[in-house]
């Protein structure tokens, strides 16, 4: 793997500093900086965080889903409440979604355009709550957070379309695959797709996942958060679900190539089993990091999402047994090669002996 994909020293340092979610803010430095959008937070060294209001959502949810100029669109059964946005209620067969856009309205003749997110390095903090009446393993299906090319496309993947193009992060609350002894649900996993892969719901997305972790998030009386950070092609997913205000590692994948200009969204679905899936806030931060000239060259824009050195289970499956012919050919050529090597060896040995004899005369 290329050295540039390895997390560098500053990254490790920065991560350590970030592990306390509400790290100290250097107000003075803040004031000394030039103007920009939204409030700024200075975290560590050369890294700055800017809240991007146009890609964020928080209370009060004025105009969400109703105003034509809203930054967020609702879909399906999603409902705006005063304290949260309910993607699905705790009822069977519901689905809902919430999608970001940046609207530029104005000017007669009116033009409305929706603009996606063009940030290169970012961090999305998701404040969510999953709760319901269902007892052990009788609740579902979970929610997903998206950074995708398409928006507002209902479908089977936690309420969003299958064969999506982009990144999906799933908080899967129900184990569909029966023999999941070693995996405890709810389970967070991530998937990057260029539009060719299907999410295998029956197997909880296992064949295509980049990584994952158990996250006991249902029916908690404190706030639960998830953070998706994408910096220098490094995807990190952490969670704060223990009520300790600390980020805990979940997924870390280097070499993730995500195009710019995709949309953020979140969606959820219920089937026979259900839960309330609520989103309280979505906060997108722009991260400004310094890149060396080599990194600038390496991190050029891409047009399709991909992951370097991704090994899907299908590819890592044991090789099929060799056919009789293949085995014969391998043995045959091995023998030919061995004989050849022995002959060459003997010739060289004889030459060497001749020469050493010559030296004695
Ligand atoms: C899309 O992804 C699949 C699976 O990772 C891969 O086999 C295929 O080559 C990719 N297609 C393109 C055009 O990159
Ligand atoms: Ca599942």
Pairwise CA distance, residues 156 & 170, whole Å: 13
Task: Let me know if residue 318 belongs to a domain.
Answer: no
Task: Let me know if residue 149 belongs to a domain.
Answer: yes
Q: Ligand 1 in contact with 165 (CB < 6 A)? A: no
Judge whether 44 and 17 are in contact, CB under 8 Å. yes
Contact residues for 307 (Cβ-Cβ < 8 A; gap 6+):
192, 210, 253, 255, 256, 257
Tell which atom from ligand 1 comes closest to the C-alpha of 193. 2
Residue 229: strand pairing partners: 123, 236
- Which residue's alpha carbon is nearest to atom 12 within ligand 1? 194
The 8-class DSSP code of residue 318 comes to P
Predicted confidence at residue 361, as pLDDT, reads 53
Predicted confidence at residue 312, as pLDDT, reads 64
Q: Ligand 1 in contact with 196 (CB < 6 A)? A: yes
Predicted confidence at residue 96, as pLDDT, reads 98
Predicted confidence at residue 348, as pLDDT, reads 87
CA atoms within 13 A on the CB side of 251: 27
Structure-token pair, residue 321: 């047994």
Residue 98: strand pairing partners: 74, 266
Predicted confidence at residue 67, as pLDDT, reads 82
Predicted confidence at residue 351, as pLDDT, reads 85
Omega before residue 82 within 30° of 0, cis: no
- Which residue's alpha carbon is nearest to atom 7 within ligand 1? 196
Tell which atom from ligand 1 comes closest to the C-alpha of 310. 5
Task: Let me know if residue 27 belongs to a domain.
Answer: no
CATH of the domain at 227: 2.60.120.200
Helix (H, G, I), strand (E, B) or coil at 337: helix
Predicted confidence at residue 107, as pLDDT, reads 56
Q: How far is the CA of 45 from the centre of ligand 1 (A)?
A: 37
Q: How far is the CA of 143 from the centre of ligand 2 (A)?
A: 10
Instruction: Give the structural domain span for 276.
Output: 48-307
Predicted confidence at residue 273, as pLDDT, reads 95
Residue 267: strand pairing partners: 97, 144
Q: How far is the CA of 175 from the centre of ligand 2 (A)?
A: 5
Task: Let me know if residue 33 belongs to a domain.
Answer: no
Q: Which residue in this structure is represented by tokens 């398409």?
A: 150
The maximal CA–CA distance of the chain, rounded, in angstroms, is 108
| Tens digits of residue pLDDT in 148-189 | 999 999 999 999 999 999 999 999 999 999 776 789 999 999
Note the ligand closest to the C-alpha atom of 174: 2
Distances (CA, A) of 247 to 88, 229, 239: 27, 12, 5
Q: Which residue in this structure is represented by tokens 């998701």?
A: 126
Pairwise CA distance, residues 138 & 203, whole Å: 17
Note the ligand closest to the C-alpha atom of 188: 2
Burial track 180-196 (b if 16+ CB lie within 10 A, e otherwise): eeebebbbbbbbbbbee
Note the ligand closest to the C-alpha atom of 205: 2
Contact residues for 178 (Cβ-Cβ < 8 A; gap 6+):
none
Judge whether 56 and 266 are in contact, CB under 8 Å. no
- Which residue's alpha carbon is nearest to atom 3 within ligand 1? 196
The 8-class DSSP code of residue 208 comes to G
Q: Ligand 1 in contact with 194 (CB < 6 A)? A: yes
Tell which atom from ligand 1 comes closest to the C-alpha of 307. 5
Task: Let me know if residue 352 belongs to a domain.
Answer: no
Q: Ligand 1 in contact with 304 (CB < 6 A)? A: yes
Q: How far is the CA of 306 from the centre of ligand 1 (A)?
A: 8
Pairwise CA distance, residues 28 & 14, whole Å: 20
Q: What residues in the chain have per-residue pLDDT under 70?
A: 1-46, 104-112, 180, 312-323, 357-361
Task: Let me know if residue 351 belongs to a domain.
Answer: no
Q: Ligand 1 in contact with 102 (CB < 6 A)? A: no
Residue 226: strand pairing partners: 126, 239
Task: Let me know if residue 157 belongs to a domain.
Answer: yes
Q: Which of 306, 307, 308, 309 to mutate to test the pocket of ligand 1 (most atoms within 8 A of CB)?
A: 306
Task: Let me know if residue 275 belongs to a domain.
Answer: yes
Predicted confidence at residue 27, as pLDDT, reads 36
Note the ligand closest to the C-alpha atom of 189: 2
Predicted confidence at residue 319, as pLDDT, reads 52
Judge whether 140 and 223 are in contact, CB under 8 Å. no
Q: How far is the CA of 129 from the centre of ligand 2 (A)?
A: 17
- The string of DSSP letters for 185-203 reads SSEEEEEEEES-PPP-GGG
Q: How many domains does the chain have?
A: 1
pTM greater than 0.85 (yes/no): no
């Amino acid at each position: 793997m290329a050295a540039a994909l390895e997390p560098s020293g500053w990254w490790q340092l920065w991560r350590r500093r970030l592990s306390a979610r509400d790290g100290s803010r250097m107000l003075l430095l803040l004031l000394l900086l030039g103007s920009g959008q939204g409030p700024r937070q200075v975290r560590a060294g050369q890294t700055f965080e800017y809240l991007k209001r146009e890609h964020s959502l928080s209370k009060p949810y004025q105009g969400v889903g109703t105003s034509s100029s809203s930054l967020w669109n609702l879909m399906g059964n999603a409902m705006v409440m005063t304290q949260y946005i309910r993607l699905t209620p705790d009822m069977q067969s519901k689905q809902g979604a919430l999608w970001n856009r940046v609207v530029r309205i104005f000017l007669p003749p009116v033009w409305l355009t929706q603009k996606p997110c063009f940030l290169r390095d970012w961090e999305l903090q998701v404040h969510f709550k999953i709760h319901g009446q269902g007892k052990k393993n009788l609740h579902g299906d979970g929610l997903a957070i998206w950074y995708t090319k398409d928006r507002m496309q209902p479908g089977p993947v936690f309420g969003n379309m299958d064969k999506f193009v982009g990144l999906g992060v799933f908080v899967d609350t129900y184990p569909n695959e029966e023999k999941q002894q070693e995996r405890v649900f709810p389970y967070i996993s991530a998937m990057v797709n260029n539009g060719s892969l299907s999410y295998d719901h029956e197997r909880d997305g296992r064949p295509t996942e980049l990584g994952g972790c158990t996250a006991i998030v249902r029916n908690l009386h404190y706030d639960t958060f998830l953070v998706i950070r994408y910096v220098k092609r490094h995807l990190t997913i952490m969670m704060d679900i223990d009520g300790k205000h600390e980020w805990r590692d979940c997924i870390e994948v280097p070499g993730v190539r995500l195009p710019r200009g995709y949309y953020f969204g979140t969606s959820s679905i219920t089937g026979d089993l259900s839960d309330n899936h609520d989103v309280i806030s979505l906060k997108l931060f722009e991260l400004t990091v310094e890149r060396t000239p080599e990194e600038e060259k390496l991190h050029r824009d891409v047009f399709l999402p991909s992951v370097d050195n991704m090994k899907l289970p299908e590819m890592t499956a044991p090789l099929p047994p060799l056919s009789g012919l293949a085995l014969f050919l391998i043995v045959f050529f091995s023998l030919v090669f061995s004989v050849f090597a022995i002959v060459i060896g003997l010739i060289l040995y004889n030459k060497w002996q001749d020469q050493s004899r010559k030296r004695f005369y």
